[in-house]
Amino acid sequence: MLNTLVPGQVSLETLQAVYDGRIIPKLDTVCMDKVEQSARRIAEILSGNEAHYGINTGFGKLASVRIPTEDVETLQRNLILSHCCGVGTPLPDNVVRLIMTLKLISLGRGASGVRPQVIKVLAAMLEKNLLPIIPGQGSVGASGDLAPLAHMTAAMIGEGMVKFDGDILPATIGLAKSGIQPIVLAAKEGLAMINGTQTSTALALAGLFRAHRGLAASLISGALSTDAAMGSTSPFSHEIHALRGHAGQADTASVLRALMEGSAIRESHAKNDDRVQDPYCLRCQPQVAGACLDLLRQAAHTLTIEANAATDNPLVLSDGSVVSGGNFHAEPVAFAADQIAIAVCEIGAIAQRRIALLVDPTLSYGLPAFLTPRPGLNSGFMIAEVTSAALMSENKQMSHPASVDSTPTSANQEDHVSMACHGARRLIQMTSNLFAIIGIETLSAAQGIDLRAPLKTSPALASLHDVVRSAVPMLGDDRYMADDLHMAADLVESGRLVAATPATITAEIALCARL
């Protein structure tokens, strides 16, 4: 389905729909007037005698080298080819689509000086799902995501490799098969394409969407764990969280209350349990998950602004002046990525402690050791818990902020960089680890609910328990567990677990709420 983008006004929901593959983005044609005006201004400069960076000069440390007008097209082509220095595993297709969409939005602001033809080629590639192969490593997040964006642009001029109809092809062949003519870049157009934060921002958005899905799933697994452990719901009381005032805390507490409403296990706890307080991993779920939600919402706000920004250099301003600045510096994106990483780490850390509680008979209030009906002969969830601990620790190591690192590049011309690109790229692995942790907790908690029979959990959790059991049966005697863990992680990553939750419950923890 085609969806029209108005540069400067594209919503987070639209960006997520692009990432999920639910829409094909196209630019609002109204923006083309500004695009054409800025392109004419670049053409005027090229016909004059004054030196302008990136239009008739070299780049970076070579900015003082004047380029003859007849060599400008060669200059732009050489810029792209020389900057195709990416290494590592290619970025996923959904991230590549998001990068291309963000570049469309940025160019559509009409400050980049590119001709409409450039935008049309990029838009046609998106519409026909002709995706450049973009290696994931090589950007330091300043002066633009140069290497990855160069690989994207190389495909537009018929260089490098693309994916089309599931096949990896030379770009010239992919363009021909899809009926798209390669573009010949004019003055500044190569520079406009590779200057910008679109790779870092796309990766950070991907991490954000995945982290939010993990957070939502963790409230489900956390509620199941609380019920399995016969924990108290009193700490989720509305007034407790209203007295503190943090929006995320109140919202996550509301979800936990709704999920556990009507549990017979909960009622049994209230009548028969002499415990005064639960461990923090149960009692403080709203305080931890809520703080993580607030961080994700703050990152969402930053990334929505950045997605709508003109971030190349130099920019054609409204008065016709062409000014060099630093909008390509991805510091805001690096900070957002670090916030997301911290939230992902903490969501997994508290979930892992709930798993540890459930397998420990000294803490689980009557559940058998390691959640197996016959402990000793069977090990049950013993090593599943160890796996969750390993993943938690791995995420802790990866959560160190990338934004505090910097190294000078380009002969000290670019002497402070953001490291946003790899700071955002790590979120893919971190969220994969999180999905596995939440999957293990979901299985552990579902096992605990089964072991509480004939007592029943709440109606909401019972339906979610059924979703889990439709994928993974209850564990009796020990069996090969890797497949179970894989299926549980997929329930989380695919969104099927969250999708089974009534929308009236999950609406309260939307990313865009209370921004």
pLDDT tens digits for 329-343?
A: 999 999 999 999 999
Strands annotated E in 41-117: 87-90
Q: Is 506 exposed, middle or buried (0-12, 13-18, 19+ CB in 10 A)?
A: middle
Tell me the average pLDDT across 485-514.
91
Secondary structure element (H or E) that encloses residue 254, with its range: helix 247-260
Quick one: pLDDT at residue 350? 98
Quick one: pLDDT at residue 174? 98
pLDDT digits (tens, 9 = 90+) for 198-219: 999 999 999 999 999 999 999 9
Instruction: Say if residue 168's pLDDT is above 70.
Output: yes
Give the β-pairing of 24-27 and 2-5. parallel
Quote the CA–CA distance of 54 and 80 in Å, as a whole number: 13
For residue 78, which of 63, 58, 61, 100 has the smallest C-alpha distance?
58
Under 8 Å between Cβ of 401 and 315: no
Quote the CA–CA distance of 357 and 385 in Å, as a whole number: 10
The pTM for the full model equals: 0.96
Catalytic annotation present for 53: yes
Tell me the average pLDDT across 138-167.
95
Q: Which residue has the higher pLDDT, 232 or 408?
A: 232
The greatest distance separating any two alpha carbons of the chain, rounded to the nearest whole angstrom, comes to 88
How far from 261 is each of 173, 298, 469, CA to CA, in Å? 59, 30, 21
Under 8 Å between Cβ of 478 and 380: yes
Dihedral of CA atoms 242, 246, 250, 251 in degrees, nearest 10, equals 150
Quote the CA–CA distance of 3 and 26 in Å, as a whole number: 6
| Average predicted confidence (pLDDT) for the chain | 94
**59-63, 170-174, 327-331, 498-502: the lowest-pLDDT one:** 59-63
N- to C-terminal Cα separation, the chain? 28
Sequence-distant (6+) residues with CB within 8 A of 313 are 53, 54, 143, 144, 191, 195, 324, 325, 326, 327, 328
Q: Which residue has the higher pLDDT, 20 or 69?
A: 20
Q: Superfamily for 2-196?
A: Fumarase/aspartase (N-terminal domain) (1.10.275.10)
Q: Which two tokens stand for residue 90?
A: 């290619």
Domain segments of the chain: what residues? 2-196, 203-407+417-509
Quick one: pLDDT at residue 444? 98
For residue 137, which of 332, 406, 426 has the smallest C-alpha distance?
426
Quote the CA–CA distance of 307 and 35 in Å, as a whole number: 18
pLDDT band at 270 (very low <50, low <70, confident <90, very high): low
Radius of gyration in angstroms for the set of CA atoms belonging to the chain, rounded to a whole number: 26
Q: Which residue has the tokens 């999905």?
A: 435
Instruction: Say if residue 252's pLDDT is above 80.
Output: yes
Quick one: pLDDT at residue 153? 98
pLDDT band at 96 (very low <50, low <70, confident <90, very high): very high
Look up residue 354 and give its amino acid.
R
Instruction: Say if residue 70's pLDDT is above 90.
Output: no
Quote the CA–CA distance of 460 and 464 in Å, as a whole number: 7
What DSSP assignment string belongs to 256-313? Answer: HHHHHTT-HHHHHHHHH---S---HHHHTHHHHHHHHHHHHHHHHHHHHHHHT----S
Angle between helices 198-228 and 93-107 (to 10 degrees): 130
Instruction: Say if residue 272's pLDDT is above 80.
Output: no
Under 8 Å between Cβ of 115 and 177: no
pLDDT band at 273 (very low <50, low <70, confident <90, very high): low
Q: Which residue has the tokens 């409403």?
A: 261
Sequence-distant (6+) residues with CB within 8 A of 101 are 5, 15, 18, 25, 126
Instruction: Say if residue 30's pLDDT is above 80.
Output: yes
CATH architecture of 203-407+417-509: Up-down Bundle (1.20)
Tell me the percentage of the chain whose pLDDT exceeds 90: 85
- Out of 19, 53, 280, 365, pick the active-site residue: 53
